[in-house]
Chain A
Amino acid sequence: MIESVVQVRNLVKSFDDLHVLRGVDLDLFRGENLVVLGKSGSGKSVLIKIMVGLLTQDEGSVKVLGQEVKNLNSKELNELRLKIGFSFQASALYDSMTVRENLEFPLVRNVKGLSKQEKDKMVEEVLDSVGLLQTINQMPSQLSGGQRKRIGIARTLILQPEIMLYDEPTAGLDPITCMDINNLINQVNEKYKTTSIIITHDLTCAKETGDRVAVLLDGAFGASGKFEDVFENAEDYRIKSFYDYNFIKQ
């Protein structure tokens, strides 16, 4: 039986009068790439932020690698976070640091006793794996949107996480760069043997990267399964319109 690394049950989250998640259930199995689709504001990012303890749910249970996230103290939460890589929508690179310093930041604070050579080697290796070794001494402001995304992913990979959470990895990028990012997500999954959740509203990204897709509708998952099963024979008009809109030119 395949191990479930993330288990979400009856998750409820509201912001004042805005009910974002209304009873979400989810299982993420080891080694798979799960794509969570949904309209803007449907609570996709909220869902993964609860998984890393950036937000706390109102009701329900979120277990990551067997641990109930809301019950962890800050030390336990930090230990769990080391096993999770979170790639932010806007990359969230530290503006005042070079690419090298950005990558070293989580490394020097969480891996003790590394020599300078070992640090350099790890940084260079992970930068090479995203194809941006040449940017090592540049500032984030000197990078393009796609490069920033790649460096953001590299920064999360440096601690070799078991689970990768991608928040809108292709948002705001041109189609060719989107394709590069989709390939990178697949390469990361293969090379680092990660289990991933990819939050997106880009169906091409979902098709390219997802082993399984789940569609968030009105605060709960409306459909889940293989891409073709969910979309190509969709009967729910909300899922159908989502698909039609994304592939309107075909």
Chain B
Amino acid sequence: MSGESTNKDKVISKRIDRFFTGLESAYLFVKRFFKEVWFPPYEFKEVIRQCYQIGYNSLPLISLTGFIVGVVFTNQSRPSLAEFGATSWLPALISIAVIRAMGPLVTALIAAGKVGSSIGAEIGSMKVTEQIDAMEVSATNPFKFLVVSRVLASTFMIPILVLYTDFVALLGAFVNVHANEMTSLSTFFVQVFDALSFLDITSSLVKSVVFGFTIGIVGCYKGYNSTKGTEGVGKAANSAVVMAMFLIFIEELLSLQVTNFFRQQ
């Protein structure tokens, strides 16, 4: 009996140990990013290449998703407002929902799936095929070339994608509102912007920057630390997505508290 409990204790202590070691290594990874990002050489060409990969290549998926979100959300909200004869409030309701929460959240979750997994898998496979070692022995800093460039690109591009998703989602909402209420484009967008405050837009952009950083750094961290061959690459890609999504929801919750604090001032 006591032997069994000793074994259990050992397993638990090993798990706790692994958790804190992982936490420490993630902290050191983020610290290294902030240490290396300021100093030359700057890999501008690679940052631009990554911006293209992350931004431009995500446009079709983001466009489709954003448009559908706009259409569906408008459609689902209409019956509740119609009960109070308040369908004219639809543009205001949708703009607040899209700009404050849905635009950033939907974009970040899609990017976590598409961009985060691709960064995790790409860096992971470079790690297991010794490409990262090859960079190191040719006197190139692989952290700067691979990690700093990807994290910067994702931090720059996610806010731009969020603005684009907001626009496309509002366009989807307009199509639905126009089809049902015959509202004109100018009236729709006047109502949309009337409902928004400066705080709504800035808070949305600030949290998008945080989401972008999270997606980039988590993907890079998981890829850079992958082991065990091709199995490790799969795990790196998978855990990059899961971890990024988890952190995005936590950050969304925190940003809500912070924004509410400023709104009440």
Q: Which residues of A contact B (CB under 8 A)?
A: 49, 52, 54, 78-79, 81-82, 84, 86, 88-90, 92-96, 105-106, 109-110, 155-156, 159
B137 touches A109 (CB 8 A): no
**Residues on B close to A: CB < 8 A?**
41, 122, 125-126, 129-131, 133-140
Question: Which 10 interchain pairs have the tightest Cβ spacing?
Answer: A106-B138, A92-B134, A78-B139, A92-B130, A86-B137, A81-B139, A88-B130, A109-B140, A92-B131, A52-B137
B126, B131, B140: the one within 8 Å of A106 (CB) = B140
A76 and B49 CA atoms in complex are apart in Å by: 30
- In the complex the two chains form, what is the Cα distance from A155 to B130 in whole Å? 14
By CB atoms of chain A within 10 A, which of B129, B136, B138 has the most?
Answer: B138
Query: Which of B126, B137, B139, B140 counts the most A-chain CB atoms under 10 A from its CB?
Result: B137
Residues of chain B lying within 8 A (CB to CB) of residue A93: 131
Residues on the B chain within 8 Å of A81, using CB: 136-139
How far, in whole Å, are A84 and B139 apart by their CA atoms in the complex?
10
Residue of B nearest to A45 (CB): B130
How far, in whole Å, are A133 and B125 apart by their CA atoms in the complex? 27
Q: How far is the CA of A54 from the CA of B122 in the complex (A)?
A: 21
A49 to B133 alpha-carbon distance, docked (Å): 9
Please state if A105 and B131 are interface contacts (CB–CB under 8 Å): no
- For the complex, what is the distance from the CA of A62 to the CA of B145, rounded to whole Å? 29
A83: nearest residue on chain B (CB-CB)?
B139
Bound CA span A82–B122, Å: 26
- Show 21 A/B contacts (Cβ-Cβ < 8 Å), sorted by A: A54-B133, A54-B136, A79-B139, A81-B138, A88-B130, A88-B133, A88-B134, A90-B129, A92-B130, A94-B131, A95-B125, A95-B126, A95-B129, A96-B122, A105-B135, A105-B140, A106-B138, A106-B140, A109-B41, A155-B134, A159-B138
Q: Which of B131, B133, B137, B140 contacts A95 (CB 8 A)?
A: B131
Query: How many angstroms between the C-alpha atoms of A155 and B131 in the bound complex?
Result: 12
Q: Other than the known A88-B133, A94-B126, A94-B131, what 16 A-B pairs have Cβ atoms closer than 8 Å?
A: A49-B133, A54-B133, A54-B136, A54-B137, A78-B139, A79-B139, A81-B136, A81-B138, A88-B130, A89-B130, A95-B129, A105-B140, A106-B140, A109-B138, A109-B139, A156-B138
Instruction: Report the minimal beta-carbon distance from B178 to chain A, rounded to whole angstroms.
Output: 44
Measured CB to CB, the closest approach of chain A to B229, in angstroms, equals 11
